[in-house]
């Protein structure tokens, strides 16, 4: 009986702590203007454009790669998704190939400023 009471008390403390933590997180999100509504990712927004650039088969691979880029982007920059200019720059530098998209995605995650400069140079040459 003693062990069950201690376990129940520990569970009650844990649940109270989780409740307090959730309330504090909600208040913090409200102060910062964050919403609990998930953002629409690059994949959903860009599907027609990606399919037009890469074709039907490679388009699905490119969309999968963009989903991975979103995860890496969040891990590196603490932003949900890359901004539209970043995605446009990746697409410009990809030259319509999966290999090019992989290289531009690596550049974007490593240093987004270098990506933007390279994309501007590519656009000015065209």
> What are the pLDDT digits (tens) for 54-103?
998 899 999 989 888 888 888 888 888 888 999 999 999 999 999 999 99
> Measured between alpha carbons, how far is 110 from 50 in angstroms, rounded to an integer?
22
> What is the structure's pLDDT at 11?
57
Measured in whole angstroms, how far is the alpha carbon of residue 55 from the centre of its chain?
Answer: 23
pTM: 0.66
Q: Which residues contact 4 (CB under 8 A, 6 or more apart)?
A: none
């Amino acid at each position: 009986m003693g062990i069950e009471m201690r376990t129940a008390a520990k569970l009650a403390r844990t649940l109270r702590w989780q409740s307090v933590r959730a309330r504090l997180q909600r208040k913090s999100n409200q102060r910062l203007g964050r919403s609990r509504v998930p953002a629409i990712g690059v994949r959903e927004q860009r599907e027609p454009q990606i399919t037009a650039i890469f074709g039907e088969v490679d388009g699905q691979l490119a969309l999968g790669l963009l989903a991975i880029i979103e995860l890496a982007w969040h891990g590196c920059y603490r932003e949900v998704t890359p901004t539209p200019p970043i995605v446009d720059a990746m697409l410009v530098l990809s030259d319509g190939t999966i290999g090019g998209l992989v290289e531009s995605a690596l550049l974007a995650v490593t240093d987004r400023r270098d990506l933007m400069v390279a994309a501007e140079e590519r656009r000015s040459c065209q």
